[in-house]
Amino acid sequence: MADDWSAARYETNARFVSDLGQGVLDWLDPRAGERILDLGCGDGALTEKLMSAGAEVLGVDGSADMVAAARARGIEARVADGHALDLAPEFDAVFSNAALHWMTDPDAVIAGVSRALKPGGRFVGEYGGHGNVAAIRTALSAVIEVEAGVADAPASIWYFPTPAEYQARLEAAGFAVQRIALIPRPTPIPSDMAGWLETLAAPVLAGLPEAQRGIVRDKAQTLLRPALCDAAGNWTADYVRLRFEARL
């Protein structure tokens, strides 16, 4: 999945993802001198904000291209699988924005986060929650089933839980959940839906034969136009985010 990501394409079609990260940064409230792990750091746009607060930050991401872009910003970053974090308990906080929904074994992720935190450390994040991109997922699933005979292909790459489900997982791993909320956030996108699909559903499309990818993208866009595109041609993604703060 990591190789399906393009930092340049993300900058063009999905910069809004990090631009909308201020709310979860406020929940994290990074402080000077803290050691923070940015899990799923992407190209480092939000990681820079952690550093500007005076924190010492390590960014990790599954995409080598994204890590290269983060390093180009002067960030300490490395390629790592969020399901298999093997870091010493040296972090005051683990932060994650718009990444955890790509990690489909949440218990493995939570266990790795727990190992990386100091006693009393906090885990603060935001990602796709229950109902996130429901229309987009439905259209994409329907087209892929017709074109490729695969049922609900997005289910293999996206994890969108309810607050109750994710809170239970955190508590089972020893975290105390301070706050957790599901936040509807219809989000204007700078491209058409084809650009969104090529960027933020890239791993779904990459699982198809190359000859089918453009067909699936275009047919999904056609299905979605009545629901997510206005009369002026402006597209909105049907986002719902799950934001949380938990402590060991």
Q: Is 229 part of any domain?
A: no
Q: Is 166 part of any domain?
A: yes
Residue pair 101/128 in contact by the 8 Å Cβ criterion? yes
Q: Is 92 part of any domain?
A: yes
Q: Is 141 part of any domain?
A: no
CA–CA distance, 52 with 81 (Å, rounded to integer): 26
Q: Is 51 part of any domain?
A: yes
CA–CA distance, 149 with 188 (Å, rounded to integer): 31
Domain count, the chain: 1
Q: Is 172 part of any domain?
A: yes
Mean pLDDT on 150-173 = 93
Q: Is 195 part of any domain?
A: no
Residue-wise pLDDT tens digits, 189-231: 988 999 999 988 988 999 899 999 999 999 999 999 999 999 9
Q: Is 232 part of any domain?
A: no
The answer for residues whose C-beta is within 8 angstroms of residue 60's C-beta and 6 or more apart is: 37, 38, 39, 40, 41, 67, 77, 78, 79, 80, 82, 85
Residue-wise pLDDT tens digits, 83-95: 999 999 999 999 9
What is the span of the domain harbouring residue 35? 2-133+158-189+238-247
The answer for residues whose C-beta is within 8 angstroms of residue 52's C-beta and 6 or more apart is: none
- pLDDT beyond 70 at 3: no
CA–CA distance, 110 with 87 (Å, rounded to integer): 13
- pLDDT beyond 50 at 2: no
Give the global pTM.
0.89
CA–CA distance, 103 with 191 (Å, rounded to integer): 26
Residue pair 178/247 in contact by the 8 Å Cβ criterion? yes
Domain of 41: which CATH number?
Answer: 3.40.50.150
